[in-house]
Chains A and B, each alone.
Chain A
Amino acid sequence: MTAVLGTRPDPGKTRVKKPGRWSAPPRPVWEEEPSRAGQAGKGLALGLACLAILFPLWIVIVTSLQTKKTIDEAGGLVVIPKGITFVAYQELLGGGQVQRAALVSVGVTVVGTLFSMAVSVLCAYGLSRSGSLGHRWILMTLLATMFFGAGLIPTYLLVQALGLTDTYLALILPSAVSVFNILVLRAFFMNISQELVDSARIDGAGEWRILFRIVMPLSRAVIAVISLFYAVGYWSAWFNASIYLTDQDMMPLQNVMIQLVQKQERPVGLAAQINTGQLSPLAIQMAVMVLALLPVAVLSPFVQKHFKKGMLTGAVKG
């Protein structure tokens, strides 16, 4: 009886297909067969949601790869590509304003992420042994910052007073520690089997060795996720640069993107080529956007499978 309910053959299809990775797993016997309309509606909703995200990115990427002629014919943004050219990228990365900004962004992101991770992992491990001396006090000190922000003006005055203006430290230090990220790491570390840690200690390992040899190798997933969070934070930041840096040559990519794409300024060094019609300003703008989105779009799917794990432990025990 139940078997009939569960595996009723579809009269339209007689071919028996082996279930692949794209096909649905068998339904539980109590579940109704899905209706055609329901399936179609679901597919449509899902497709539209994905299209709403991908279509704008498609236009940006495609336009950045077109020649000036194609762009002029289309009257602006290009939806259907005609051939591919990397002229815009060659010009941008061959030196000048955008190349320097991209290097600045990469540098700040790499150094900042390493620094933030070192500080956060150490702190999270230091707080992961419940009942250790001072553990509650330190935790409370960190947690309180999540409820009350100091405000923009006092922070600005402090960074100025510390002499950090016009240095890259101003882009790293004020935002180096995220209490939320420390809590997620800590929750993960606390879930590591205490027997493992104990046996290492009996073998004579100190806290440092336990952290580097046992805890961190077991926490690769959450370390990958938190590194991505920090890296994206540094890569996307522009506000601190806009108030702490005055030297235009020091500006990171996001700030240059504001100038070139949003305010439609001509890039330094390429203005002549654009004005004489050799280069399409639109292709240049779109190429700058692609440079900004590419690292993120390439990296985040790799870390995706760990997202839920990282977020979940944080949500449950945070």
Chain B
Amino acid sequence: MSHSTVPRGTTEAQTPQQDAGEAAGSLKGPAAARRGGRGPGRKNSGRLGFRLRWRRDRTLILMTVPALLLVLVFNYVPILGNVVAFQDYDPYLSENGFVAIFESPWVGLEQFERIFADSAFWHAVRNTFVLFFLQLVLYFPVPILLALLINSVVRPRVRAVAQAIMYLPHFFSWVLVVTVFMQIFGGAGIIAQTLRRHGYEGFDLMTNPEIFKYLVTAETVWKDAGWGIIVFLAALSSVSNDLYEAAAMDGAGRWRRMWHVTLPALRPVIALLLVLRVGDALTVGFEQLLLQRQAVGVDASEVLDTYVWWNGIRNQDFSYAAAAGLIKGVVGLGLVLTANKVAHLMGEQGVYKK
């Protein structure tokens, strides 16, 4: 909490209490403490001069280099690679696919015009939004309810065992989740098998395009709802017991305490997760859908991500697919920023601060 041998400033992330703690814990006496404990860090450390700071911090900077390099190469360089969306990119124009970008002809917005004229694209957009809303309605409340349920269990062992079981599917791969669902709801699954043995007709939910969207949502719930409770449990455990006691003293029963104490405590977390979810609305289970594409057909399973995959990786129409991916990225960025703005307007914190 306190300073090292050289006075350091504070950052944007620290709260006033931490500032106070730092000042109080400083070894350098009141004057230095005041200097170190107030104002933005850059101004403060700037007094040391670049040379001194470089000598002090160069090991720290060196340590970030490997991660920084990986992020620059695999996250930033590909962003530049998006220029192929404005070209008619041909990978065979050069030995190296990236060099071929410089040789490929520019076509302006032609790829985008093709995309907007493609009914399959709009179909993928529609599927994406249908799945997003379905998951928002049917998936989002489940972890909250489960967390309230677990939180009301007071026996420590029962709680720990239930949590261990519920967290488990989160760590399974999508391949495993989809194949597990096949064993239950598939044509050779346990339900169809039992029905057939008792003389009824079997069925195969895995290949039914009509109910595919509900199946996808069910898979998401099975895999991640249990893991989702962890954030809510953390929020619940930070609620002071005094609040419950005071409410009980005022005559609030079990349900009123939940409504007036527990749920308000969850509000910021719910708001944050909603913002994250809405910001990520265009991403609805890429791997999960890709795995079931063959079984259920393109009509039911095509979303924006799989549309990009199909046109780019499978059909090698790189420029077209990159343009579709770029549309998704830009709209996604807009969604994140808008969702945050709305959260701020509602008085919640959102992902980043104002």
Chain A positions within 8 Å of B, measured between CB atoms, are: 21-25, 27-28, 30-32, 42, 45-46, 49-50, 52-54, 56-57, 59-60, 75-77, 79, 118-120, 122-123, 125-127, 129-136, 138, 141-142, 145, 147-158, 160-161, 173-174, 176-177, 179, 182, 193-195, 197-198, 201-202, 206-208, 211, 228, 232, 235-239, 243, 254, 257-258, 261-263, 286, 289, 292-293, 296-297, 300-301, 304, 307-308, 311-312, 315, 317
Task: Name the CB-closest residue of A to B98.
Answer: A161
Q: Which of B50, B53, B63, B97 has the most CB of A within 10 A?
A: B63
* CB contact under 8 A between A152 and B312, given known A157-B98, A262-B182: yes
Q: How far is the CA of A176 from the CA of B70 in the complex (A)?
A: 8
Give chain A residues whose Cβ lies under 8 Å from the Cβ of B82: 150-151, 154
Give the complex CA separation of A54 and B161 in angstroms. 12
Q: B155, B294, B332 — which one has the most chain A CB atoms within 10 A of its CB?
A: B155
**Considering only CB atoms, which chain A residue lies closest to B59 in the complex?**
A207
B109 within 8 Å of A (CB atoms)? no
- Least CB distance from B60 to A in Å reads 4
Q: Is the interface of A mostly helix, strand, loop or mixed?
A: helix
Determine if B81 and A158 form an interchain contact, defined as CB atoms under 8 angstroms apart.
Answer: yes
Q: Can you list 20 A-B pairs with a CB-CB distance of less than 8 A?
A: A30-B248, A42-B153, A56-B184, A77-B183, A77-B188, A122-B66, A131-B11, A145-B71, A147-B336, A151-B308, A152-B325, A155-B78, A155-B81, A158-B98, A206-B59, A211-B63, A237-B173, A254-B173, A262-B178, A301-B168
The 10 A-B pairs of least Cβ separation, nearest first, read A154-B81, A236-B173, A150-B78, A126-B63, A151-B325, A161-B98, A123-B67, A131-B41, A154-B78, A130-B11
Hey, which chain A residues are within 8 Å of B290, CB to CB?
A: 239
Q: Are A261 and B179 in contact (CB under 8 A)?
A: yes
Q: How far is A228 from B171 in the complex, measured between Cα atoms in Å?
A: 9
Contact yes or no, B75 A150, CB < 8 A:
yes
* Cβ–Cβ < 8 Å partners of A261 in chain B: 179, 182
Q: Is the CB of B230 within 8 A of A53?
A: no
Contact between chains at B61 and A123 (CB < 8 Å): no
Contact check: which of A60, A207, A292, A317 meets B13 at CB < 8 Å?
A: A317
> Is B56 interfacial (CB-CB < 8 Å)?
yes
Residues from chain B with a CB closer than 8 A to the CB of A208 are 59
Q: Pick the residue among A22, A133, A155, A308 that contacts B56 (CB under 8 A).
A: A133
